[in-house]
Chains A and B, each alone.
Chain A
Amino acid sequence: MAAEADMMEASGPAIDPMHQFTLKPLFGEGPIHWYTPTNATLWMGITVLAIIALLVFGTRRRAIVPSHTQSVAELAYGFVYQMVRDVAGKEGVKYFPYIMTLFIFIIFTNFLGLIPMSFSVTSQIAVTAVLAVLVFVSVTLLGFYLHGVKFLGLFWVSQAPLALRPVLAIIEIISYFVRPVSHSIRLAGNVMAGHAVIEVFASFAASALIAPIAMVGIVAMFGMDVLVAFIQAYVFTILTCVYLKDALHPSH
């Protein structure tokens, strides 16, 4: 990472693929207080508006035979609902609105971040960490609330030989606490890497000699980023469902 940063500095400010991830106040200059509206705030607001456009205005006619927008909204609903029911089981359906909130937020910010000159909210480790910690804490609390001390059975592999169980318990506990870390860095890392690579290609495009290759590279990377935008939202959501399932049915 340090070597990469040095390389960026060496090539000067013209190629600074990380610059796009900088938070800036929307109005004027100055320090960023907790309440300052920034470009992140702007794009979160746009996310909310886009969600309203699809899920509220798109479905306002409540048509039996849906319009295109309404079908997309229904598709998103059915996709997440199916996922929650298949992975977390019937009891998990109760938490469907929360998981839908996560999925819709992530997929909208991912796709809005693909708009050129936009700001990608999910590339911020602070955002994904909050999401992951939110999932981690609520799932853990839910597990203890539903099962009490029995929730710790999640770490006690009862099928394994007795001698192995303490070792497995340690491994299980470590893997449990690593969950929010991998959960958050996977999303932010994928989104950030895709955007950074596109910008690197874009900065190469300044030179006429390699511009065609750079253009092809941008198009290819953009295509991949579209996939990543969906897949990472899907992965984040399905992992949330898996964690929820662990909380609902802790026994191995």
Chain B
Amino acid sequence: MTTATTEAAGHAAESAAGMPQLDISTFPNQIFWLAVTLVLIHLILSRIALPRIEAVLAERQGTITGDLAAAEELKQKAVEAEEAYNKALADARAEANRIVAETRADIQAELDEAIARADAEIAARSAESERAIAEIRASAQEAVKEVAVDTAKEIVAAFGVKADARAIAAAVTQRMKG
């Protein structure tokens, strides 16, 4: 590279014919206009173009991030809604179970009470019946005794013996006991 430049410098005198780039008389002109151009480009870039593009890129990034965040939020909301739905469902199911249990307990209590009442009534009626039976039995015994006394009196009379009513009744009573 260095040899090329020295060689080129050697040819600088005849450069107009060979390489126009090495014509030193045009250098100030090129350098001046290059400086003007570079300053212009730098001003355009740093004042207008680059901040604008940077802002656009940042805004786009912001929009994308915002949209992603919104999507995440909506997703979260959907999950929450599903959870709430599930919770409501579970609550309703528990409530239903509770109502069922309660109702069952109520019915059981009513049933128990009714059974108890029925039992009591049955007991009362059977006691009454027993008493009635006992009465009937007592009256029957009385009747049997009377009949037996009468019968015995008649039998004794038939044998021609004048029987003492009292003795006969005592004998019958004695006999029935035995």
List the interface of chain A (C-beta within 8 A of B). 1-2, 5, 8-9, 18-19, 21-23, 31-38, 40-41, 44-45, 47-48, 51-52, 55-56, 59, 62-64, 66, 70, 73-74, 77-78, 96-98, 100-101, 104-105, 121, 123-127, 130-131, 134, 178, 181-182, 185, 188, 192
Contacts and interface: CB of A to CB of B under 8 A. Distances in A.
B11 A1 contact: yes
Interface stretch (B50-58, B97-105, B135-143): B50-58
13 contacts: A18-B18, A21-B20, A34-B31, A34-B32, A55-B45, A56-B44, A59-B53, A64-B60, A74-B53, A97-B46, A124-B21, A182-B1, A192-B21
Contact of B1 (A47, A125, A178): A178
Contact of A105 (B8, B21, B41): B41
A19 B55 CA distance: 45
A33 B29 contact: yes
A229 to B, nearest CB: 17
Given A64-B63, A97-B50, A23 B20 contact: yes
Residue of B36, B44, B54 with most partner-chain A CB within 10 A? B44
Nearest to A74: B53
A48 B43 CA distance: 11
Interface string B2-36: 10110110010010011111110111111111111
Contacts of B55: 62
Chain B binding site: helix, strand, loop or mixed by DSSP? helix
B23 A23 contact: yes
Contacts of B158: none
Contacts of A18: 18-20
B40 interface: yes
Contacts of B82: none
